[in-house]
Structure formats: structure tokens, C-alpha cells
Amino acid sequence: MATLVKDVVGLESEAESIVQQAHAEAKQLEKAVEEEIASYRKKLTEETHRKIAEFQKNTEETYRNAQKDAEEELKAVLDALDRIPHNNLQKQVEMIVSRCRDL
């Protein structure tokens, strides 16, 4: 009977050791997973910031090009208006005023 008690105590001690080892391995695994998650989040954050910066750069370039095109178009229209003889503009203004009076 004493041998049986010793065997049971020995098995309990061995089982406790196995459980403690399993807990330690689980903690190590949990730590490794947390580090991997942190690394993935960092990588994802960096990639997101890079994409935002690239989008902002492209948007600003598109805006500058559109602004340049609009300024060139405005300049062309203003130049065309400047080339219209003053007498022609005066006649058009007089015609508009005359029609407005007739209303």
C-alpha cells in the first residue's frame, strides 16, 4: 500500500510538472503571437501611411496640373478678349442696353 501511495504521489508530481511546463510553453507561445501581431500591425500601419502619402502626392500633382490648365485656358480667353477691337465691344454693349430698355 505504501508503494501505491508513493506511485500516486509520484504521478501527481509528474503531472503537476507537465502542467507547469505546458503553462510555460503556452505563455511563450502567447508572447510570440503578441509579438507577431505587433509586428503585423506596425507593418500594416507603415503601409497605410505610405499609401496615404502616395495618394496625397498624386492628388496634389493632379490639382496642380488642373490649376495650370485652367490658368492657361483663362489666359487664352483673356488674350482673345483683348484682341477684340474696342469699337466692337462698345457696339455689343449698346445693343444689349437697347434690348434691355425695350423690355
User: Please, how many CA atoms are within 13 Å of residue 70, restricted to the half-sphere of its CB?
Assistant: 6
Residue of 97 and 7 predicted with greater confidence: 97
Categorize the per-residue pLDDT at 39 as very low, low, confident or very high, splitting at 50, 70 and 90.
very high
Q: For residue 86, give the C-alpha cell.
A: 474696342
pLDDT above 90 for 9: no
Categorize the per-residue pLDDT at 4 as very low, low, confident or very high, splitting at 50, 70 and 90.
confident
Domain residue ranges in the chain: 2-102
pLDDT above 80 for 97: yes
